[in-house]
Structure 1
Amino acid sequence: MDYIQPRPSSIVAALYTARDLGVDVAILHGPSGCSFKHARLLEEDGMRVLTTSLADNEFIFGGHDPLMRVLRYAEEMFSPRRMAVVGTCVSMIIGEDLQSAIHDAGVATPAIAVDIHAGFRENIDGVLATLEPAAAAGWISADELERQRYLLAKANEVERLRGAASRAYIEPSRGDLKHVAAERLVELADSGATGVAVMNAKKETAYMFADELIALHDACPDTAVTYVANLEDRGLPKVREDAGRILAGMRERGVDPELLGALDEYGANGPAIGERLREIAPDFALMVGVPHAVPPEYTEGIEVFSITNGPRQVAPLREMGHRHVMVEIDLHPKTLGVRDIVASEFGEVLRSMR
């Protein structure tokens, strides 16, 4: 598929994967402005992101020496447990040997070289470019690397079939008005209808998506609703930590969900969720996170309320037959660096119905 809409960057994907592996300091080997927004956001999440600030002179003569200096500075200044040197378009074009710079810098901190640039069509290439040297360094097992390969392929498959990558251009949308959808959801709950509330969220986005399940319970505590969440204890270190915190937070707030899948299994989790829907046969379903992972044949005859954080996901969800489609704008920045469940806009609107 040739896209004419912006797509996620493989460099940024590498940075997020380094964070999930427990990297304390990531060094972007490139111009100071490369991936600036995401670097700043990741610093709020506890990982320091430095840059070698390559300029026109290094574009010609190379940036080996600047990279060694930043590696030494990072070790002395921050005493990190792990470091990652992440490539950029510039460093890859000029042929920098990132691993050689790590060796020549003489740092004692365990460090991996991530050979990546933004020219890949799929951002999962950045994830794999980080996981492969991590496995070689013993940071993850060979089995976990293969598990991640499988999950990334399934996530890609879902996006191509029913997601924002399903066509060359999708008009972004804010979706339906949240108060209108909330009124209908409460109306169904009060009518005696049975429901399912499913969170199938991607990694840290679950810190906000979980609030929407809690809000349904707050607003309609006596309604027959089955709660399901992908919070099983599997995945990279940060992913597992997040799942544990979110599950504890949900239970503290009165929702003890069935566990189905892990936070990195959102792309592969759809058929299992679909089978659970068939078993319950609800009148309505609240589906949050990555609702398009569930094939549409499983939601036929169900009034679906779906919530995503992608404006380009609205049209595909409507085409799948979801009656009410909403977007949590700016969800991702609001869930970086947090360690507890974050209030959602739809959740607050739903609570206001009472």
Structure 2
Amino acid sequence: MHPRPSPIAASLYTLRDMNVDVIVMHGPNGCCFRTGRLLESDGVRVLTTAMAENDFILGAGEKLEETLKKAYDMFKPELMGVVGTCASMIIGEDLKEAIANADLPCTVIPVESHGGSGEGDNTVGAIMVLEAAVECGVIPQGEADRQIEMLEKATEVEKTRGMAQGKYIKPNFGDSKENVAKLVVRAIKDGKKVAFVHNAKKETAYLFADIINFDYKDIRRDNKPIIVANLDGSTGLERIRCHAKNIKEELPMEIDFITGGLDEYPITADVAAEYLKNMDLDLIVVFGVPHAFPIEDFDVESVAITDGPRLVEPLRDLGYNHVVAELDAHSKTLGTDEIVFSDFGGMIRSAIGWLDE
């Protein structure tokens, strides 16, 4: 009942993950405006055919061909994507025909996504990109199958445990970051057994990793927290693997257990839970996509850090004792290759100093 990310935006982000150089959106110039502008910060040139009222009636295949040619002349890309929108897909525009007529000396991936694809599930747009990329020979079928399985599981998590449950959820910014950060630092200082579960999604990991961007020895030298993280640098597309490697190299604390890759967040939370289930924990801190973690299976004090204000109440309903929200994780992490400051991570580092006073 409340606005959700669209399949068009998911298509754009997935093409970005494949390292396309240019994306042409076949639709009005305002369609997915914010996503297109954000992706420019990540090194992707996003253009539009700027369909107008007459194009909705008469079609705009020639306009798409012209835009494709101009895009190639301007940027000389090796890999391009063409993304449909509600306007072009409803009137039946043929993206493949326009690409064939443009006859560019590069690979062009056609994605026939629109706002209602798959009843509006945003992951459907990403699946369309994967299937089209296989047809174009950009990725192997096996990698597409693995990622499609992850996307389908992600949709299930959102519909059963997240913000896509079918009811209106009022935005909520959660508990005081300062108070919760002090609680976490105090637990480590008092010798309690604390586990941090990094279960982040793709590039947002650069922000969520900042939560464990401190040295436990500054709190208590003989009480290292348990760190589990979905930072497998050998899984996923090259861009995603690089994110994981960059973060692992920068983190000051050793990771105790790797749960999987950054695009496997729908299942890595269960892997983390299985690893932690027999440990006598006093506190679990889960961040990134915390609603995928089965916190209801643990009789322990818990903290969730999410990037969605509409996830605060669902996380409390799942059983988390404390929930805080980080804002604008996507926009803050686009174009970076190093850990980005997070409010909660900053509060933890500040709390270390406060407790020493």
Note if 1:275 corresponds to 2:246: no
Distance 1:15 1:280 in 2: 41
8 A contact 2:212–2:253 mirrored in 1: no
Q: Tell me the SS of whatever aligns to 2:35.
A: helix
Q: Tell me the SS of whatever aligns to 2:131.
A: helix
Q: Deviations over 1:185-244 (max 9, x none)?
A: 122111110111110000000001001012373753522311111011211221112111
Residue 301 of structure 1, aligned match among 299, 302, 306:
299
The residue number in structure 2 matching 1:239 is 240
Q: Tell me the SS of whatever aligns to 1:176.
A: coil
Distance 1:197 1:91 in 2: 46
Structure 2 length as normaliser, TM-score?
A: 0.94
User: CA 1:111/1:352 → structure 2, altered by over 3 Å: closer, same or farther?
Assistant: same
Kindly provide the amino acid, as one letter, of the partner of residue 150 in structure 1: E
Distance 2:308 2:152 in 1: 20
Q: Tell me the SS of whatever aligns to 1:108.
A: coil
8 A contact 2:286–2:304 mirrored in 1: yes
Q: Deviations over 1:225-272 (max 9, x none)?
A: 11111011211221112111111121xx34445211110000122221
Kindly provide the amino acid, as one letter, of the partner of residue 225 in structure 2: V
Note if 1:230 corresponds to 2:222: no
Note if 1:201 corresponds to 2:191: no
8 A contact 2:296–2:319 mirrored in 1: no
Distance 2:153 2:314 in 1: 18
Q: Tell me the SS of whatever aligns to 1:286.
A: strand
The residue number in structure 1 matching 2:210 is 211
Distance 1:342 1:50 in 2: 28
Q: Which moved more, 1:37-46 or 1:137-146?
A: 137-146
Query: Unaligned 5+ residue runs, structure 2?
Result: none
Distance 1:221 1:332 in 2: 33
Note if 1:102 corresponds to 2:99: yes
Kindly provide the amino acid, as one letter, of the partner of residue 335 in structure 2: G
The residue number in structure 2 matching 1:17 is 14
Residue 312 of structure 1, aligned match among 310, 328, 335:
310
Distance 2:315 2:87 in 1: 38
8 A contact 2:199–2:290 mirrored in 1: yes
8 A contact 2:81–2:108 mirrored in 1: yes
The residue number in structure 2 matching 1:144 is 143
8 A contact 1:214–1:255 mirrored in 2: no
Distance 1:281 1:154 in 2: 29
Give the aligned CA root-mean-square deviation in angstroms: 1.4
8 A contact 1:175–1:325 mirrored in 2: yes
User: CA 1:191/1:166 → structure 2, altered by over 3 Å: closer, same or farther?
Assistant: same
8 A contact 2:178–2:347 mirrored in 1: yes
User: CA 1:46/1:308 → structure 2, altered by over 3 Å: closer, same or farther?
Assistant: same
Spell out the pairing of 1:103-142 with structure 2 (5 A cutoff): 103-120=100-117, 121-142=120-141
Q: Deviations over 1:127-159 (max 9, x none)?
A: 111111101111111111111121111111111
User: CA 1:326/1:108 → structure 2, altered by over 3 Å: closer, same or farther?
Assistant: same
Query: Unaligned 5+ residue runs, structure 1?
Result: none
Note if 1:68 corresponds to 2:55: no
Structure 1 length as normaliser, TM-score?
A: 0.95
The residue number in structure 1 matching 2:178 is 179
Cα drift, residue 109 of structure 1 = 0.9
Kindly provide the amino acid, as one letter, of the partner of residue 106 in structure 2: T
Note if 1:90 corresponds to 2:87: yes
8 A contact 1:216–1:347 mirrored in 2: no
Q: Tell me the SS of whatever aligns to 2:265.
A: coil
Note if 1:47 corresponds to 2:39: no
Note if 1:38 corresponds to 2:24: no
Distance 1:39 1:19 in 2: 11
8 A contact 1:219–1:351 mirrored in 2: no
8 A contact 2:9–2:125 mirrored in 1: yes
Distance 1:344 1:217 in 2: 18
- Percent identical across equivalent pairs? 44
Q: Which moved more, 1:67-76 or 1:218-227?
A: 218-227
Distance 2:7 2:70 in 1: 26
Residue 337 of structure 1, aligned match among 328, 335, 342:
335
Cα drift, residue 119 of structure 1 = 1.2
Count matched residues. Answer: 348
Regions of 4+ moved over 3 Å: 215-219, 254-257
Cα drift, residue 52 of structure 1 = 0.4
Distance 2:165 2:268 in 1: 19
The residue number in structure 2 matching 1:248 is 249
User: CA 1:72/1:208 → structure 2, altered by over 3 Å: closer, same or farther?
Assistant: same
Distance 1:111 1:24 in 2: 10
Kindly provide the amino acid, as one letter, of the partner of residue 334 in structure 1: K
8 A contact 1:193–1:224 mirrored in 2: no
Kindly provide the amino acid, as one letter, of the partner of residue 246 in structure 2: R
Q: Tell me the SS of whatever aligns to 2:195.
A: strand
